[in-house]
Structure 1
Amino acid sequence: MEAIHFGGGALGRGLVVPRLVEAGWTVTVVDPLPDLVEALDRQGGYGLEMQEGGATREIRVPIARALHPERDRAELMRRLGEAPLVTTAVRKENLAGVARQLVAAGAGRAAPCTLLGCENVEAVDEALTQALIAAGIAGEALARLHIPRTVVDRICANAWPASTTIRTETYGELAASRAGPTIPGIEAAQSIDALFDRKRYLVNSLADAAAILGRSRGDTLLSQAFGDGALLAELTPFVDALQRHLALEHGLDRDGLVRYAATSRERLANGFIPRRLDTVARDLWRKMQPGERFFAPLIALRRRGEAVEAALDVLARLVRLSAALEGAPGHPAFGPAELRAVADRHGEDPALRSVYRDTADRIGKGG
């Protein structure tokens, strides 16, 4: 079983490649960094370092080849034309480049292939399909591709260029929608959307919120913020609202969600993988948009007639504190006026409008 993996970064080498290798796949890694490709190819793999029970251990992850998409184009085209599995772990904006490679390699391909997007991107299957269409894929070639929806979760740190070693936690989630062929090493899940939202809200939203509070108190690492019980207690009404939304939206068990949130807090408090708060609490204005991780679940709850006032108090405090964190190029500052502007743009949606206006009013009252 030969798999081609695009993306030699932390998540790709920390989660996707090890899962495939453990399941018996022979993996070729493709990355645009020439020095990294040369090092991985020369070493025939890399180290994966993790901590268990306070002890650190390192395992070796073997790979078949490491290829550069331009320098090694001929070999890449050949391997892509034959591999039954292609996985990606790149930035969303780089999926277009992967799609062009796949279209170029698949012109004469007759055998089916599974294309697995392992980015932390909602509905990544749709993003990949659109990228392939934009790259000019033929209808029959697209029909031969199985592109499942996925969810991925593992905290990883990339040591490159100091070394090729990836440092990671033991926890890992990599699942694909159940429809379609079985993929050895990849869990098949009935509802990827439920798992994705659970991860987005009870890991990502939680991490972002704690990072804002932590930076306001002078913390520099995510583990410091999650080691502060008083800080986490401030977030309790918000986390409770997230759990209620997940239970109502996806039918997830509330007790299971409580356990999942507790596991998330434990994972994010792990100092073995240092995460700087300035790399977590960033791009906050995008994350505060109606369809994103802070406001979307509260809007959905208000549409259901659920109480969200205590959670809005938390959001108001986060927005007020975020003003000191934003303002750098590409990261605009925002506050009550910006929230009210969003509300005004969505006047046709009473729940959305009221959630944004109520949050803005709370900020004005010192929230």
Structure 2
Amino acid sequence: MKAVHFGAGNIGRGFIGLLLHNAGYEITFVDVNDSLVAELQAKGQYAVRLANEQGDTYLVDHVTAIDGKNIALVAEAIAEADIVTTAVGVTVLKHIAAAVAKGIELRLARENTALPVIACENALGGSTVLKQLVYEHLPEELKAKAELHVAFPDAAVDRIVPLQQHEDPLLVVVEPFYEWTVERSPLLASLPEIEGIHYVDQLEPYIERKLFTVNTGHCVAAYHGYLRGYETIQEAMKDSEVIAEVKGALQETGAVLIERYSFNEKDHGQYIGQILERFTNPHLLDEVSRIGRSPIRKLSPNDRLVRPALLAYEYGISADHLTTAMAAALHFHNEEDPEAVELQLAIQEIGLIPAVTKYTGIDEQHSLHQEVVRHYRELGLAANSAGKGMSK
């Protein structure tokens, strides 16, 4: 069996690549990083090490890579593949859509077997987004045929893969925990299910459970950790005040999820506990700057802070910790992060209140908006009184 995977970075190799390999696939990675492509071509294998006490290590072999800029070569690989996956970031999907479309066009001319195309991105409806982009490049007469033979099931993915540097550029260290949840598609019913994937009939509850728990909790830890001068999530999660903010936010999002999807309260409480354990894994070093990056995206109306806060308001649930986290995100400043730079400039140039409205989409008359502004000023006073960053 053959897989084509877009994105040969740490997540692509350490998460999706490992699972596809364990399920029996030979993998062709597609990437625009010339040195990474050359390494994979030369070695044909790489190692994945788990961040646990034993340091369990797995060899992923029968792999190669091709230059993502060579559309003809990428299309040929897709035409011969049994599955296509991505882990490139949702904003990059538009850049791979033409190659995917060309591969589908070649495939439809040769055979009629079903092809799953799964975007394993940290976003709602990633595969649906990719499908729309791909169809913009497909000839009109092929779209109906593609509907019969190519499926784009949405997916939710969860595994912490921190930034890392090793002497071996292909080695990846990942946390032991993972979840890869994929929506069932009638078109793929004839294909065997892939070991390691959890298939569900309705994906939205699992996407929002992950987004509102893992992603929300992670960024709450990052933004409060940043304000207190910590460099890693693991350091921040040793601070009782940071832990209290994270737990408080996850209690709020948990109440939203239970109300919205009728999750079992005890089971969800255990899920939160598992997430908190993952954040404190001593064998991982996850930088606050990485988790906190792209604050504009993370403050957007449908993302991990604003969306659960708005739902909490709708259900009559407190969102005090979520609005505090939103305020902390507005304080996040990193000169190497374009979004952080833009956010700070906007606050300076147009003012705090218009900036909150601009980036969260919440009207200034809304009580949540007012709470964000209040918490922002309180956090600023606390930071100023402690000097550079709050006291550890």
Q: TM-score, normalised by structure 2?
A: 0.83
Inter-partner Cα distance in structure 2 for 1:344 and 1:276? 25
2:65 is aligned with 1:66? yes
Per the alignment, residue 150 of structure 1 pairs with 155
Cα pair 2:4 2:29 within 8 Å, conserved: yes
Q: 2:231 aligns with which of 220, 233, 243?
A: 220
Inter-partner Cα distance in structure 2 for 1:317 and 1:188? 33
Per the alignment, residue 250 of structure 1 pairs with 261
Inter-partner Cα distance in structure 1 for 2:211 and 2:321? 21
Q: 2:143 aligns with which of 129, 132, 139?
A: 139
Which 4+ runs in 1 deviate beyond 6 A? none
- Which AA in structure 2 matches 1:184? I
Counterparts of 1:1-367 in structure 2, within 5 Å, are 1-52=1-52, 54-70=53-69, 74-108=72-106, 109=108, 110-111=111-112, 112-137=114-139, 138-143=142-147, 144-157=149-162, 158-159=164-165, 162-180=168-186, 181=188, 182-185=192-195, 186-304=197-315, 306-308=316-318, 311-312=319-320, 315-316=323-324, 319=327, 322-323=330-331, 325=333, 329-331=338-340, 332-333=343-344, 334=347, 336-338=352-354, 341=357, 353-363=366-376
Where is the helix percentage greater, Structure 1 or Structure 2?
Answer: 2
Cα pair 1:336 1:361 within 8 Å, conserved: no
Long gaps (5+) in structure 1: none
Inter-partner Cα distance in structure 2 for 1:329 and 1:366? 23
Q: Cα gap change, 1:343/1:132 in structure 2, threshold over 3 Å: closer, same or farther? A: closer
- Alpha-carbon deviation of 1:213? 1.3
Q: Cα gap change, 1:346/1:273 in structure 2, threshold over 3 Å: closer, same or farther? A: closer
Q: Cα gap change, 1:26/1:135 in structure 2, threshold over 3 Å: closer, same or farther? A: same
Q: Cα gap change, 1:361/1:336 in structure 2, threshold over 3 Å: closer, same or farther? A: farther
Inter-partner Cα distance in structure 2 for 1:321 and 1:344? 11
2:105 partner SS: coil
Cα pair 1:336 1:364 within 8 Å, conserved: no
1:252 partner SS: coil
- Alpha-carbon deviation of 1:140? 2.8
Inter-partner Cα distance in structure 2 for 1:80 and 1:132? 13
1:77 partner SS: helix
- Alpha-carbon deviation of 1:76? 3.3
CA RMSD of aligned residues (A): 2.7
- Which AA in structure 1 matches 2:5? H
Inter-partner Cα distance in structure 1 for 2:325 and 2:161? 30
Per the alignment, residue 386 of structure 2 pairs with none
- Alpha-carbon deviation of 1:191? 2.6
Inter-partner Cα distance in structure 1 for 2:50 and 2:359? 45
- Which AA in structure 2 matches 1:202? T
> Any idea what the Cα deviations from partners look like across 1:192-243, whole Å, max 9, x if unmatched?
2111111111111111111111122221011111233332113333221100
Inter-partner Cα distance in structure 2 for 1:345 and 1:282? 20
Inter-partner Cα distance in structure 1 for 2:263 and 2:50? 30
> Any idea what the Cα deviations from partners look like across 1:311-340, whole Å, max 9, x if unmatched?
325623651574253676432124751366
- Which AA in structure 1 matches 2:354? E
Cα pair 2:327 2:375 within 8 Å, conserved: no
- Alpha-carbon deviation of 1:364? 5.0
- Which AA in structure 2 matches 1:147? F
Q: Cα gap change, 1:22/1:206 in structure 2, threshold over 3 Å: closer, same or farther? A: same
- Alpha-carbon deviation of 1:61? 0.4
Inter-partner Cα distance in structure 2 for 1:177 and 1:24? 21
Q: Cα gap change, 1:31/1:63 in structure 2, threshold over 3 Å: closer, same or farther? A: farther
- Alpha-carbon deviation of 1:358? 3.4
- Alpha-carbon deviation of 1:10? 1.2
- Alpha-carbon deviation of 1:63? 2.7
Q: Percent identity?
A: 21
2:339 partner SS: coil
- Which AA in structure 1 matches 2:154? R
Q: Cα gap change, 1:326/1:105 in structure 2, threshold over 3 Å: closer, same or farther? A: closer
Q: TM-score, normalised by structure 1?
A: 0.88
Q: Cα gap change, 1:160/1:95 in structure 2, threshold over 3 Å: closer, same or farther? A: farther
> Any idea what the Cα deviations from partners look like across 1:243-299, whole Å, max 9, x if unmatched?
000111122122122111111111111232322111112222332233221121121
Inter-partner Cα distance in structure 2 for 1:168 and 1:365? 37
- Alpha-carbon deviation of 1:18? 1.1
Q: Cα gap change, 1:172/1:365 in structure 2, threshold over 3 Å: closer, same or farther? A: closer
Cα pair 2:226 2:332 within 8 Å, conserved: no
- Alpha-carbon deviation of 1:62? 0.8
